Amino acid sequence: MAEQLWKGRFSKAVDSRVNDFNSSIRFDQRMIAQDMRGSGVHAAMLARQGIISNADAEAILEGLASISDDLASGKLAIDPAAEDVHTFVEQTLTARIGDAGKRLHTGRSRNDQVALDIRLTLRDESLALQAQIVELVKVLCRQAGENTASVMPGYTHLQRAQPITFGHALMAYAWMLLRDLERLADATRRMDSQCPLGSGALAGTTYPLDRGFTAEMLGFAAPCPNSLDGVSDRDFCIELASAISICMMHLSRLSEEIILWCSWEFKFIELDDAFTTGSSIMPQKKNPDVTELIRGKTGRVYGDLNTLLVMMKGLPLAYNKDMQEDKEAIFDAVDTLSLCLRTVTPMLDTMKALPANMRAAAAKGFINATDCADYLTKKGMPFRDAYKLTGQMVSDCIAANKVLEDLTVAEFKAYSDLFEADVLAAIDLVNCCEGRSSYGGPTAASVRSQIQQALAAAKEWEDAHAEV
């Protein structure tokens, strides 16, 4: 059993059940690279300030490097009996380099250490999520570019409303995801603004630390200005979980659309066999399980966010053990979004649009009724009268099992002398889309412009994060 770092105060061994309950190694071991990075910078700062010798600092850095190498090669495994990842690293280091390893923790507490580790870890996780979102945006842009002329019904209240294109619909989700990208980037900027290392347990330390040096070396803008806040702040976890929750909400909305679109009742798309499942009893079934799981997992991520909010809502300053619960919640949110993005992106990339079915649904929905009323209005009829007359025409068509496009010019004129032969072009579904030329609308040119803007935003992100 690994030894607790704090056992000096106690004369009696802790019950094994308490050790198991107290341990966080199962989930905080994923921060080991960040923990060793922070430890390396801390050791370098201690030597720079003359708090430990240069020789000790060199031994610590070499020891940390050897631990990293051995973990990567499989020669060393993380001890599941260790209380936490910080204990494992320090005890392994001390076993390798002796007393120099015991000096690593000078001027530092596990409180500011874990506050640093989770910030560094979530910074890396956030960047990975952002890269996945960029890939999904690019896939949506490609599919949208292939469907700028695929007319389909736009819906309100899940009722056919006005004509749009499939490309226009897909780009709506691209813009949602680009906002998610901004939210994650913004949360990460705040995460990087203040470095907690050097806050100690809660009240700093009597050692002459150079907190500006450690902050700069670890990529932070500055040290956190208040040591109490430095060790007790988990706003960055909550903010990241919030951004992740919103992104999951967008994926869930898209998933619901996919589920509808690939049903026989819609049949606007066909999902690739590699991203669907069958039934154990019904041989005809092709189920969109991926999207159903995303829809379900969204609630799970909301639970992670709520866990963090409730965990923090009643905590007095400064650190409390409740805060150990932050990691499982935020790591689960990160992992769930990553899994969903990793699966939905190739699913959408291989998705096949069925424009003929979209076009047929658009025709049957009388979604050009507004254009018919607008036609009469432009000819001089008051809009409310045009609205009422067009509603009567739709009602008559339904009774006769027709759509507006089936009517002849003579039948149109029977309703009003204002109708001329050009009404047929005015209610053509493609023309209805192309006529909606206001900024952000469904015209092919508008959708192509949106694609260019979205791809430019994606490239800007990629350029900013390209490895030098």
Nearest to 330 by CA among 23, 78, 22, 119: 119
Numbered ranges of CATH 1.20.200.10 in the chain: 111-209+221-360
- Identify the pLDDT of residue 286: 87
pLDDT in tens, 322-345: 999 999 999 999 999 999 999 999
- Identify the pLDDT of residue 44: 98
- Identify the pLDDT of residue 351: 97
283 pLDDT band (50/70/90 cuts)?
low
- Identify the pLDDT of residue 363: 85
pLDDT in tens, 168-204: 999 999 999 999 999 999 999 999 999 999 999 999 9
CB 78 within 8 A of CB 25: yes
Mean pLDDT score, 351-367: 93
Task: Give the span between the Cα atoms of 461 and 329, in whole angstroms.
Answer: 27
Enumerate the active-site residues.
Answer: 157, 279
CB 393 within 8 A of CB 372: yes
Q: What is the 3-state secondary structure (H, E, C) of the chain?
A: CCCCCCHHHCCCCCCHHHHHHHCCHHHHHHHHHHHHHHHHHHHHHHHHCCCCCHHHHHHHHHHHHHHHHHHHHCCCCCCCCCCCHHHHHHHHHHHHHCHHHHCCCCCCCHHHHHHHHHHHHHHHHHHHHHHHHHHHHHHHHHHHHCCCCCEEEEEECCEEEEEEEHHHHHHHHHHHHHHHHHHHHHHHHHHCCEECCCCCCCCCCCCCCCHHHHHHHCCCCEECCCHHHHHHCCHHHHHHHHHHHHHHHHHHHHHHHHHHHCCCCCCCEECCHHHCECCCCCCCCCECHHHHHHHHHHHHHHHHHHHHHHHHCCCCCCCCHHHHHHHHHHHHHHHHHHHHHHHHHHHHHCCEECHHHHHHHHHHCCCCHHHHHHHHHHCCCCHHHHHHHHHHHHHHHHHCCCCHHHCCHHHHHHHCCCCCCCHHHHCCHHHHHHHCCCCCCCCHHHHHHHHHHHHHHHHHHHHHCCCC
Chain centroid to Cα 21, Å, comes to 31
> Does 114 score more than 50 pLDDT?
yes
68 pLDDT band (50/70/90 cuts)?
very high
> Does 102 score more than 80 pLDDT?
yes
pLDDT in tens, 121-140: 999 999 999 999 999 999 99
Task: Give the span between the Cα atoms of 39 and 93, in whole angstroms.
Answer: 11
Mean pLDDT score, 434-439: 93
Mean pLDDT score, 27-55: 98
Give me the chain's average pLDDT, please.
94
- Identify the pLDDT of residue 6: 45
94 pLDDT band (50/70/90 cuts)?
very high
Nearest to 131 by CA among 88, 76, 184, 78: 184
pLDDT in tens, 238-269: 999 999 999 999 999 999 999 999 999 999 99
- Identify the pLDDT of residue 265: 95
- Identify the pLDDT of residue 282: 74
The third-level CATH classification (topology) of the domain covering 369-427 is Ribonucleotide Reductase Protein R1; domain 1 (1.10.40)
Query: In the CATH scheme, what is the homologous superfamily, with its name and number, of domain 7-106?
Result: Fumarase/aspartase (N-terminal domain) (1.10.275.10)
How far lies 83's CA from each of 1, 24, 328, in Å? 9, 6, 16
How far lies 408's CA from each of 34, 221, 376, in Å? 73, 70, 16
Mean pLDDT score, 415-428: 95
Numbered ranges of CATH 1.10.40.30 in the chain: 369-427
- Identify the pLDDT of residue 8: 57
- Identify the pLDDT of residue 13: 66
Residue type at 3?
E
- 111-209+221-360 sits in which CATH class? mainly alpha
pLDDT in tens, 288-312: 999 999 999 999 999 999 999 999 9
1 pLDDT band (50/70/90 cuts)?
very low
Which two three-digit tokens encode residue 467?
A: 């490895």
- Identify the pLDDT of residue 34: 98
Task: Give the span between the Cα atoms of 22 and 353, in whole angstroms.
Answer: 53
Mean pLDDT score, 70-84: 95
Q: Percent of the chain beyond pLDDT 90? A: 90
